[in-house]
Amino acid sequence: MKKLIKWISLTALTLLIQSLILIFTGIKTNLFFLLIFLFIVDYYFPKEQKKNISPNEVYPLIFFAFIGFIEDLGQEIIGPSIISKSITGYLLIKITNQFFFTWSPPFKGIIIFIFTLLDEFISMVIVMSFFNLDFEHFVLLKEIFIRALINVPLGLFISWGRP
């Protein structure tokens, strides 16, 4: 129960920070992905995995879907972020389960960057496929790229010293 409250509080805090950044700077960020990353750092990094204390994968998936749902609530379309967050979260769990990776800061940075891009890309493809929305592709890609770049130092910060 404590853990549930902790993660719901963190979700609310992430939403608040993301909204504040948007209000004060006009920059759209993808901090929810960092929340997923933090969750995985907490429960799935090799040290914890070795201790065999990681939870099963269904509850995390539901949590990722919940994060995606919260994100989608602000978009008027429910679904794209649920799918993207679930898929990227799941793949991230699978990556962390591989013992042959050395989780050095550069590697973590690359993973954060690639998975943020993947998350954004899945969501973008779904919206573009189902809805007749006009996008300026270059601008959209640039924004996605910037969001991924922003996540790298923040992700390294929240996972500093781990594993």
CA distance 19 to 27: 9
Chain CA centroid to CA 55, Å: 18
Q: Is 52 left (phi over 0), alpha (psi -120 to 50) or beta?
A: left
Rounded least distance, CB 106 to another protein, Å: 27
Contact track, another protein, 9-48, x by CB under 8 A: ------xx--xx-xxx------------------------
Q: By CB under 8 A, is residue 52 in contact with another protein?
A: no
Contact 88/132 with Cβ under 8 angstroms?
no
Minimum CB separation of residue 79 from another protein in Å reads 4
Position 92: which residue type? L
Q: Are 146 and 25 in contact (CB under 8 A)?
A: no
- Whether 80 contacts 116, CB under 8 Å: no
Position among 87, 92, 144, 148 found at the interface with another protein (CB under 8 A): 87
Nearer Cβ to another protein, position 73 or 140? 73
Candidates 57, 95, 149, 156; binder of another protein (CB under 8 A) is 57
Place of tokens 């902790």: 6
Q: Among 4, 27, 78, 125, which residue interacts with another protein (rule: CB under 8 A)?
A: 78
Interacting residues toward another protein by CB under 8 A: 15-16, 19-20, 22-24, 56-58, 61-62, 65, 73-80, 82-83, 86-87, 90, 93-94, 97, 126, 130-131
